[in-house]
Structure 1
Amino acid sequence: MDDTVTVRRNITVLTAAQALGGSSAPIVMSLGGLVGQQLADNPAWVTLPVSLFGLGLAIGTLPAAFVMRAWGRRGGYLFGALFGLAAGLIAAFGIFVSSFLLFCVGCFTAGLYGSYVQSYRFAAADAAEGALKARAISWVMVGGLIAAVIGPQLVIWTRDSFPGTPYVGSFLSQAALPLLSIPILLMLRTPQSASQSASESSGRSLIQILMMPRYMLAVAAGVVSYGLMAFVMTAAPIAMVNTGHSVDSAALGIQWHLLAMFAPSFVTGRLMTRFGKERVTAAGMLLIAVSAIVALAGLELINFWGSLAIMGIGWNFSFIGATAMVTDCHTPGERAKAQGANDFMVFGTTAAVSFLAGSVLHNSGWAAINWLLFPPVALILVPLLWQAARKPQA
């Protein structure tokens, strides 16, 4: 099969897989803190399940890269689906027996599954060239738009399906999602040019790649965009419920946030082609700052939903832009180490800041969460704009 045809086929397959696999995260994000409130003895631990999801995501990135290098993308993704199945079953059982520890283990395992799902965006760019590379990443992220509907709606439809034990049904539905993705992932094909890269030299060492200013800027942009988004989204459902809004309103707020995260993917690739990756990433950072301003303006539902929606758009521009910047910094033979190191740093930092979210929210409130967004955004904007000025083309 022609490489271009294979690449386009894989984009379709991975978009569908992203729609199912990506639905797992919003279930954890929407309910992790609320179940934590229900099961945790210490109020400061209520966001621990969401934080452990992020930790699993971080810890799983390098092993996932190793598995995919040894078994190929398809074999690795099928193996990863087993983590997704186990995650939902363990979390559901933890809620059923009122075990905070088991629920946390389930959320951590969901993070391990997420480390495979997150690499779908890189798999889409395998063997793609030129503008198709950025658009491939962007299109796979469109699958997240579908996930943004599936995940929160599953929460709403299934959270009371087991009388007396709310949310068990939601996590059982989470377990079903990776099973549905398996026949789709079986259709994934490795482009010839990508498979040939396995026999090529491994290229530069990881240390040499890490010494590249452009690579580290791309990683830093991914760290800031994903870290700040997770920091806010971890605390937002709890803040909404604690200020008098309903659980359904909190779930819908996360849904609006997720829709905003992925809906711009229809055009993000074209924007990067026209304006450059750095400019689009910088625009996303500015929108993240705007989201904090909207959140600080009040505690009405419109403030929560509006800030989460703007945050989502900002994340889309900044994170997809950062991902595309990473793909410009390595050869096919360096792909596993460069992409694995990027995701480890991005999701490791994300896990660290999400651990802090519960404590900051409990001790200092929702306003403090949002005030803390401004310094990292300012720090990353300067080098991004400088790089954009030096490199006008994408």
Structure 2
Amino acid sequence: MSAAPDATTKLVSAHRAVFVLALAQATAMICNSIMIVTSGLTGQMLAEHKGWATLPLAFQFIATMLTTFPASFLMKRVGRKRGFMLGACIGILGGLIMAAATYIASFWLFAFGNTIFGVSAAFTLFYRFAAAEAADDAFRPKAISLVMAGGIVSAILGPELAKRGQEIFLPHLFTGGFVFIVGLSILVVLLLLPLRLPVIASEASAHAKEPARPLLEIVAQPRAFSAIVAAMLGYGVMSFVMTATPLAMTFCGYNLNTGIAFVIQGHVLAMFAPSFVTGHIIRKFGEYRVMSAGVLCYAGCLAMGLAGIDIHHFWVALVLLGLGWNFLYVAGTSQLTKCYRPSERAKIQAFNDCMVFSGVALCSFIAGTVEQAYGWNWVLYGAMVPVALIALSLVVGWRRERAVPST
């Protein structure tokens, strides 16, 4: 008689945990959205050499890349809740440093603050995994969708807070946005206090069933190779174009109030809103077709960007960029999960994330240099190369998979 109530209690507990994670994820992603809008502009304002404008943002992504492994192992040792709270506390520190840097007009202190914030952002990457672990098989897709909804909240509130925060502490431009990051990070800590996550059963027995293959053998599978290339270059192109957009729009006479915030809002919404249906689309058409649709979205983005510099050109281009990222990243991730055994999961996922954020860091830095030295059109011309490489990898992967089925 007690089995049913016990099962119901576990279900309610799982739903409550996912709800808390979704709120905390949404709040943390608002901070990320503020950084997308303001970091490049702040770097441009503080940098002695304007080509360094996006260097602080590149430092952020490098820090995220380097922290992913330690954050994962730390949370395995101390638990998800403590890990997330530590990440939020680091975010508070990063926000304080960036606010102080803009107050005293120090470019290198601002870059250091971006680096600290990047450490915090690495912990945020694991919210979706925590939600999946908290839910049972039936609730898991909804749990992931609920957590992904945080991206939609951040798309709306992040640019608005960045816009409102830029002049609060005049003449210290942009300081208010980083003060908002401090407050939001404190809110994340408070939201996580009631979090109760279920204990995850060990997968040691599952790992023992099949031996782990060498990393190179896993990556060499046509399906795995095309998935990693799509995720790495797809994320890199998105970061490259997105990072340069506020700088290009500033050069064209726009500011946060007259268009930049509006364009970034559309972009971030396009990145995350489709996630509710992308899974259904993948199941119906398959990963290769969805990733190909992502490449077409990127091609449309570049074409629209080259067509003109009116506000609608930037908006449509960035919406297509966000949509293309969603198709490439979600479908690439889905395809990668079909390429490894349980004993290989940590190794290949870590390799994939390392490749992705290495590309993001490099593209974020290059974006500022290219935009400042050559202009917006050359940012778009430069993006054509990795887009073409993604398309080539998909064609080669698809043909090789038909000839040699992956394991």
Fold match, TM over 0.5? yes
**One-letter code aligned to 1:257:** H
Question: Aligned match of 2:267 in 235, 257, 270?
Answer: 257
Conserved 8 A contact 1:260-1:312: yes
TM-superposed CA distance for 1:300, in Å, is 0.9
The 1:101–1:180 alpha-carbon spacing in structure 2 relative to 1, beyond 3 Å, is same
Q: Measure, in 2, the Cα distance between the counterparts of 1:172 and 1:357.
A: 26
Aligned to 1:338: 348
Aligned to 2:3: none
Aligned to 2:53: 46
Question: Aligned match of 2:388 in 364, 369, 378?
Answer: 378
Q: Measure, in 2, the Cα distance between the counterparts of 1:326 and 1:129.
A: 22
Conserved 8 A contact 2:17-2:134: no
1:22 aligns with 2:29: yes
TM-superposed CA distance for 1:5, in Å, is 6.5
Conserved 8 A contact 1:7-1:126: no
* SS of equivalent to 1:204: coil
TM-superposition CA deviations, 1:64-121 (whole Å, max 9, x none): 2221222232222222112211111110011111111111111111111111112323
TM-superposition CA deviations, 1:25-76 (whole Å, max 9, x none): 2212211121112211111111112222221221221222221222232222
Give the structure-1-normalised TM-score. 0.89
Question: Aligned match of 1:230 in 224, 239, 243?
Answer: 239
Q: Measure, in 2, the Cα distance between the counterparts of 1:155 and 1:86.
A: 18
Conserved 8 A contact 2:59-2:111: yes
**Higher Cα Rg: structure 1 or 2?**
2
The 1:259–1:217 alpha-carbon spacing in structure 2 relative to 1, beyond 3 Å, is same
Conserved 8 A contact 2:63-2:115: yes
* SS of equivalent to 2:171: coil
Q: Measure, in 2, the Cα distance between the counterparts of 1:267 and 1:211.
A: 30
Q: Measure, in 2, the Cα distance between the counterparts of 1:374 and 1:233.
A: 14
**One-letter code aligned to 1:214:** R
Q: 47-56 or 64-73, which moves further after superposition?
A: 64-73
Q: Measure, in 1, the Cα distance between the counterparts of 2:375 and 2:320.
A: 21
Conserved 8 A contact 2:62-2:118: yes
Aligned to 1:240: 249
The 1:126–1:268 alpha-carbon spacing in structure 2 relative to 1, beyond 3 Å, is same
What are structure 2's unaligned runs of at least 5 residues?
1-5, 403-407
Conserved 8 A contact 2:288-2:398: yes
Q: 309-318 or 371-380, which moves further after superposition?
A: 371-380
TM-superposed CA distance for 1:130, in Å, is 7.5
Q: Measure, in 2, the Cα distance between the counterparts of 1:293 and 1:246.
A: 23
**One-letter code aligned to 2:201:** S
The 1:282–1:157 alpha-carbon spacing in structure 2 relative to 1, beyond 3 Å, is same
What are structure 1's unaligned runs of at least 5 residues?
none
Conserved 8 A contact 1:224-1:376: yes
TM-superposed CA distance for 1:282, in Å, is 2.2
1:311 aligns with 2:321: yes
Aligned to 1:271: 281
Conserved 8 A contact 1:279-1:384: no
1:70 aligns with 2:77: yes
Aligned to 1:197: 203
**One-letter code aligned to 1:289:** A
Number of aligned residue pairs: 391
Give the structure-2-normalised TM-score. 0.87
Aligned to 1:140: 147
- Could you tell me the percent identity over the aligned residues? 38
Aligned to 1:361: 371
TM-superposed CA distance for 1:187, in Å, is 4.9
Conserved 8 A contact 1:134-1:324: no
Q: CA RMSD of the aligned region, Å?
A: 2.7
Conserved 8 A contact 2:222-2:398: no
Aligned to 1:155: 162
TM-superposed CA distance for 1:323, in Å, is 2.2
Q: Measure, in 2, the Cα distance between the counterparts of 1:198 and 1:220.
A: 30
Q: 15-24 or 287-296, which moves further after superposition?
A: 15-24
